[in-house]
Amino acid sequence: MTTFHPTANKPEASPTACPFTSKTGTTDHHQVFTQERIDSSAAIISDNISQIHAEYDLFRQSCPLAYTRSYSGYYLLTRYADIKAAALDSSTYISSVRAVIPSDPRGLRRPPLNFDAPAHTPYRTALDRTLKPSRVKRLAAPLANHAEALLAPLLAAGKGNICTEFAADYAAWVETEWLNLEPETAPKLSRTASAWVDAWRRMDAESTTFFSTALYDIARAVLADRRHNPRDAEEDPASSLLLERGSNGEPLEEIHLVGCIRQSLVVGMVAPPLMLGGICSYLSDNPDLQYQLRNDTSLVPAAIEEFIRLFSPYRGFARTVSKETTLHGQIIRPGIPISMTYSAANRDPNIFNNPHEFILDRENISAHVGFGRGRHRCVGQPLARLALQIALTTLLKNTKSFRVNGELQFARMPEMGIISCPLEFTV
């Protein structure tokens, strides 16, 4: 059992830039990249999706474990098999030291993301309890109403930014419905979470703290209310958390209860704008698919699953090892982050045929790792699927067509995707 190891910013000895090992166990020096080549790679420094994936393809083939000095140093994994194996081995690849690259500039740790088992378990159990199929199904109607209301002004104007003017507010309503927040909290959550994410990406510690404090205030108020007015634990995350106990039967600490709710407030705020930006941009470039889905919305769930594979919005989730571990001939020491590059894994040609293409009803679509795997797989994945399906269906049924009519903007680490996607609508 391993929890809360001290963080090491640098390895004890400089790792090999590209420790590719052949099947015979010898290093193939023709495929070793220099440190400068890796550090300057689009996979490390670019936010352009096409450029990043082109480099992932090259790294996956020739440099499957690359060390970069960016963000104080980390390893980049690009092969599906390596990433899936690490995600499933939670005793070796742990989350309590570094779970995201770049890390919170203040060094804070919140459950369940930054905890290992058994400390992680009660928080995860509490959140899972509130996302059973019956509960998620009941959220469909209110989410559909929110999607219609939020999309209406964009349609009336004939244009709008699907990421910033729809998806950010829609994600806040998804969170509000799941967490049973007061309706007036949704617009505040949208503004605050967006500002916090932007500050995080810029590694602006002062602004990150300012906006995070506002999110903590919301979390404390929710927890205080549920202590006095508990709700059905299968319907309410805060009430569910208050029922849980630690491994020795003790109540969960207040600071961690608040931290978990604070984590829950923003966990679903980041991905929806990125996903909907990618989806709408793709459908703008592929009007035949847009027409097909509009003509038969029963295809939307399968399309969303393929879009999740194609446009996985994270490249910076990370683990560290609990003990010295050898991978591709390189010894990885505790404290050095290893990126769980799900976006690269989901386009591994050894797993997915024609990985850069959209294929509706792909035979092995269930193999994708868009929601992660193992103990730290996305707790909200059933709600995320539903929310994306509702958003896309609402957009399709209320338009005759839509297309991108402005410049796209892309996310910085630790995310990957489109954060600004202006559209023009024909209704």
- pLDDT tens per residue, range 331-347: 999 999 999 999 999 99
Residue 11 confidence (pLDDT) above 90: no
What is the structure's pLDDT at 14? 55
pTM over 0.95: no
Give the C-alpha separation, 214 to 126, whole Å.
Answer: 24
| Strand bridging mode 74-77 / 338-339 | parallel
Question: Dihedral through CA 248, CA 86, CA 361, CA 394, nearest 10?
Answer: 60
Task: Specify the pLDDT at position 279.
Answer: 98
Residue 52: which residues within 8 A CB-CB, separation 6 or more? Answer: 42, 43, 46, 315, 343, 416
| Mean pLDDT score of the chain | 92
* pLDDT confidence band for 24 (50 / 70 / 90): very low
| Percent above pLDDT 90 for the chain | 86
418 or 11, higher pLDDT? 418
The whole-number average pLDDT for the span 299-323 is 97
Helix axes 121-129, 254-267, angle to 10 degrees: 50
Count of alpha carbons within 13 Å of 368, Cβ hemisphere only? 27
φ, ψ (nearest 5 deg) of residue 259: -60, -40
Q: Name the band, by pLDDT with cuts 50, 70 and 90, for residue 105.
A: low
Choose among 424, 370, 400, 385: nearest CA to 304: 385
